[in-house]
């Protein structure tokens, strides 16, 4: 069983324990995309309806709704809001520490033939 909470934005949130390569454990909250937006069913719209008034449905998506486009009673596409970056966590410094070694000549000038190739000469 996975335990977590549902916040006021109807987002299911769980806490994860993440272990780095040195064995240090970090706790990170993660949002689980359940597709639930507060409504018990998704809005189904036919292709003809979308073509008649696309801005109407765009406004609904901007308001947070997910729309399923159907043709002949078959779902063919889903339009949903892009996930907000307000919950996006920055990558921590040292995320790949010890995974690779930067060569001593990393910032040395490129050889002329390689530099010419980059410049299209």
For the stretch 62-99, pLDDT in tens is 988 889 999 988 889 999 988 765 656 777 788 788 88
Specify which residues 15 forms β-bridges with. 29
Other CB atoms within a 10 A radius of the CB of residue 59 amount to: 11
For the stretch 18-34, pLDDT in tens is 888 888 998 888 888 77
**Domains (range + CATH), the chain:** 1-33 (no CATH), 41-82 (3.40.1620.10)
Residue-level pLDDT at 5: 86
pTM: 0.38
Count CA atoms closer than 13 A to 85's CA, side-chain side.
Answer: 1
């Amino acid at each position: 069983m996975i335990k977590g909470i549902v916040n006021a934005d109807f987002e299911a949130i769980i806490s994860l324990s993440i272990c780095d390569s040195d064995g240090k454990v970090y706790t990170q909250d993660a949002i689980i995309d359940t597709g639930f937006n507060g409504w018990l069913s998704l809005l189904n719209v036919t292709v003809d309806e979308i073509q008649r008034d696309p801005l109407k449905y765009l406004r609904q998506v901007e308001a947070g709704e997910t729309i399923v486009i159907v043709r002949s009673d078959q779902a063919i596409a889903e339009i949903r809001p892009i996930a907000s970056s307000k919950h996006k966590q920055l990558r921590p410094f040292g995320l790949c520490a010890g995974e690779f070694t930067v060569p001593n000549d990393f910032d040395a000038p490129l050889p002329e033939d390689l530099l010419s190739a980059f410049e299209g000469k």
